[in-house]
Structure 1
């Protein structure tokens, strides 16, 4: 009797453990774009549920028989044939469960191919995600492709920067001469950021991004409010902040009555006059939102565009070209138009420094790294562009001569740019590529970035990016990353903040995620043809055979 009861319990426990809804396997994640696989899995789940119901009925019948056998055994009339039948049914049920389990593992949780370059140490968190359809060319082909298509395309970067910087200096100086120091915003010197100043610009035409910090007139000052200083900030506002405008002494209206004890029968006429409509007009003059002490991005955009237009009219007679706005929704998107028909675009971006750090609040960006849009016009995007430039420069000093880290980023950016022109823009940007590279730079040894390892590091970069896409998780490099060297001077509030997921929009927007994944795999599929097309003059005796591709 005890043995029979144990067998019944074992059958029931086995059925519960094998139920796919109660105990799903952890590694049974499937890309959402595999509709056929998902359909088969759903059909398989329905079959398992039907089988489970049948087995439960069988267990109930066997339990009833067991009770009858126990009653017969008590009466001393238990036939040996019934005990043999019970043992047979128990054995058959266990064999059936084992067959179902083996079949489910074979069809639902098949092993994934390993990532190329598996002979090297696996990075923590990088995993071994498969790259479908990617066959990297030989080292000679990659080297020739880089020299001809990328290094040659950026040969004029230094001359372009020098020309743009000289013109912007003159433009900002004209802007300062037109401003009233007592009432207008004060514009400071520009700061070069992004690919042109990190030496990995690929696209033509060459594009300079310049931050232009500005401050309010005396006695006002900006009071930045980081999102990480409050735990009640929604997820969609992480990465943003607000900027409060107030007086340096903390008195919003600057009246002496707030610092002096007045009698009960005394009234401050100056304070009363400054209250109400006049105070609102004063805040609006400081580019704040209506009836709010917070700086408004739309107000800043209008002010900056108007100020640049006035400054250009002041110095236009000195130049033999025209200046126009490139994108109306971006305040400082400018374009120099030469008489020959050529043009040179550049971006002047109004920013506000966050305290004494190298963090800057940005009103608008051509491509926002967070992948989202601000919920309010008083939300400002927090930019780490200056820290990114410092980190790349600091890291480059410890790498071998001719290190391939920027070459990897340039080739990946080149492939993404070409794919975007073929299939249209997706949720993947060059900022995501740079973020993935920064993570790899922090995890890899300096000796792993030798020039001879260009192919391995490029494949690893794409492998890291694919795994991040499949998991819909790519953490911001600086936010919440305590592995960043303290020598960077990152504010402690940012270091201790919760990690910021740059791929969070993919969790909320299934259509965008599907387009992005499709575009990414299409880019991998087209990569060998693109590299070969731009490397037609590689000698045949140096080309060699491409490494073996890993294909799902």
Structure 2
């Protein structure tokens, strides 16, 4: 057992809540939780997202500031008795004592996995482009690694899912037009309308291609492959499920032509809106997910095939910020000092989290907000304890106020070097917790998951991963 007082102090001194008896928390129970929060000092935290978790949870902890930048924390005054004095002494002496074994998950296997996924995916797209160069199917581009593993805060290799975004371009004689369709959707969504273009000039330039618009349909059927509208579309719109099924069938066959197939076994997993597969060899295995996307103009924002709510139409593509967020983490890594532990903070919290999928994204969003407002020099190992507490405080305040702004949409601090559509950069910030305000049951569940996170974090640090 690794002895660490940090989390015990965190839970007992700042964020302690009672264990849950079930899912039926009512107003009385929530009121009791609020009273316990006041008792343990949570009311001293200013619940303001712009505060970015920088205000100390204890009135005897202050910050020295120079301009708008936090320079250092220091302890002043200890007038609340021996218990509080002992608390501060233990915090001071144990902030950097969290074991490497618990929070620095080995990266060698993750790096190996990233290469093992990206390389064959690129080979598959190359085979695809060569084999179907004369057809009018979609044209896949070079794969882009996205998600936690490629951003530097992924879980242990055995638990990792290597997610890659495969951009899709229209074939010759076709064009894509994105049409915003947000009816009934919490997230911005689009339909990809496929338009046929006149290619009569191509014949004059010596290219043997009939025009889908101006040649007779009978001649087109006899001499040329079907247009994209007749293969992977529903009506005039690109169909997500047809695209995924078509690509999965191609992967199953094309894999046999790769050198990797001699040593690795590929098994496709059921999925209607992404291509999931497992690679295995002896006792080694890894899980990968290919998500397909259409780029919005020349920006780093795509509309993607990633899964969402049940019952979503197969012609709906969700706006995805995965590439822009991956670029943000690379942007931070280039600026951060060598001893920066910003990813370790998020890695540990993600390892401890439980509950629904949005929770990981909420943790990631909180950390990204902190990274954009706090000098990177302060994300050092010795400050890890502070940043764990600050991240949890920020999340707690966001849950309490039911307000957590999306990091990309409408964020004035988002790096200009990462290309966004103009309407996205100037849009009103999207509240990721807006559903909590209208759905009390969802708010109760989110609060419970936050409490479970605290207990899981304590267990993880004490007993190990």
User: What TM-score comes out, normalization by structure 1 length?
Assistant: 0.63
Q: 2:208 maps to which residue? A: none
Q: Name the one with the larger helix percent.
A: 1
Query: For 1:236 and 1:430, how far apart are their aligned partners in 2?
Result: 20
* CA distance in structure 2 between the aligned counterparts of 1:144 and 1:468, rounded to whole angstroms: 29
1:487 aligns with 2:411: no
Hey, what's the Cα distance between the residues in 2 that align with 1:254 and 1:333? 34
Deviation at 1:441, TM superposition (A): 1.4
Question: Quick one: which of 31, 35, 54 aligns to 2:27?
Answer: 35
In structure 2, which of residues 173, 178, 185 is the aligned counterpart of residue 236 of structure 1?
Answer: 185
Contact conserved, 2:328 with 2:415, CA < 8 A, in 1? Answer: no
Hey, what does 2:286 align to over in structure 1? 344
Task: Determine whether 1:287 maps to 2:264.
Answer: no
Aligned to 1:329: 272
Task: Indicate which of 164, 181, 200 corresponds to 2:134.
Answer: 181
Q: Which residues of 2 match residues 140-179 of structure 1 at below 5 A?
A: 143=96, 145-179=98-132
Work out the CA distance in 2 between the residues paired with 1:163 and 1:141.
39
Q: Structure 1 residues 178, 512: closer, same or farther in 2, change over 3 A?
A: farther
2:206 corresponds in structure 1 to: none
Q: Does structure 1 conserve the Cα–Cα contact (< 8 Å) formed by 2:165 and 2:293?
A: yes
Deviation of 1:493 after TM superposition, in Å, equals: 0.9
Judging changes above 3 Å, is the alpha-carbon distance between structure 1 residues 391 and 38 closer, same or farther for their aligned structure 2 residues? closer
State yes or no: 1:454 paired with 2:384: yes
Report the Cα distance in structure 1 between the residues aligned to 2:261 and 2:51, rounded to whole angstroms: 57
The alignment partner of 2:348 has SS state of helix
**SS of equivalent residue, structure 1 residue 476:** coil
Matched residue, 1:501: 431
Q: What is the DSSP-based 3-state SS (H/G/I as helix, E as strand, rest coil) of the residue aligned with 2:191?
A: strand
2:371 maps to 1:398: no
- Structure whose alpha-carbon radius of gyration is higher: 1
Secondary structure of 1:244's counterpart equals strand
TM superposition shift of 1:363? 0.7
Q: For the residues of structure 1 that align with 2:440 and 2:97, how far apart are their CA atoms?
A: 39
In 2: Cα distance, 1:250 partner to 1:437 partner: 49
Q: Take 1:163 and 1:36, find their aligned partners in 2: how far apart are those partners?
A: 53
Matched, 1:532 2:459: no
Root mean square deviation of aligned Cα: 3.9
CA distance change for structure 1 residues 128 and 446 in 2, over 3 Å: closer, same or farther?
closer
SS of equivalent to 2:108: coil
Secondary structure of 1:488's aligned partner: coil
Give the C-alpha shift of residue 242 in structure 1. 1.8
Partner of 2:195: 246
Change (3 A) 1:200 1:531: same
Q: Which has the higher contact order (CA 8 A, sep 6+)?
A: 1
Aligned match of 2:366 in 430, 433, 436? Answer: 436
Partner of 2:164: helix, strand, or coil?
Answer: strand
Please say if residues 238 and 500 of structure 1, whose CA atoms lie closer than 8 Å, have aligned partners that are also in contact.
no
User: 1: CA distance between counterparts of 2:260 and 2:348?
Assistant: 42
Match of residue 210, structure 1, among 143, 148, 164: 164
Superposition TM-score, scaled by structure 2 size: 0.73
**1:312-391 equivalence runs, <5 A:** 312-315=255-258, 318-338=261-281, 340-365=282-307, 372=309, 375-391=312-328
Q: Write out per-residue CA displacement over residues 263-282 of structure 1, whole angstroms, 9 at most, x where no aligned residue.
A: xxxxxx948999xxxxxx85
CA distance in 2 between partners of 1:477 and 1:329 (Å):
28
Q: Does the 8 Å CA contact 2:349/2:457 hold for their aligned counterparts? A: no
- Aligned partner (choices 191, 195, 198) of residue 144 of structure 2: 191
* Mean CA deviation greater in 203-212 or 234-243: 234-243
How far, CA to CA, are the matches of 2:218 and 2:261 in structure 1? Answer: 50
User: 1:544 maps to what in 2?
Assistant: none
How far the C-alpha of 1:437 sits from its partner, in A, is 0.8
User: 1:74 maps to what in 2?
Assistant: none
Kept in 1: contact 2:255–2:261 (CA 8 A): no
Distance in structure 2 (CA, Å) of the matches to 1:330 and 1:141: 46
Secondary structure, counterpart of 2:331 in structure 1: helix
The separation in 1 between residues aligned to 2:56 and 2:397, in whole angstroms, is 5
Aligned length: 396
Structure with the largest fraction of strand: 2
- Partners in 2 of 1:355 and 1:362 — Cα distance? 14
CA–CA distance in structure 1, aligned partners of residues 377 and 389 of structure 2: 17
- The answer to whether the 8 A contact 2:232-2:243 is kept is yes
Larger CA deviation: 141-150 vs 427-436? 141-150
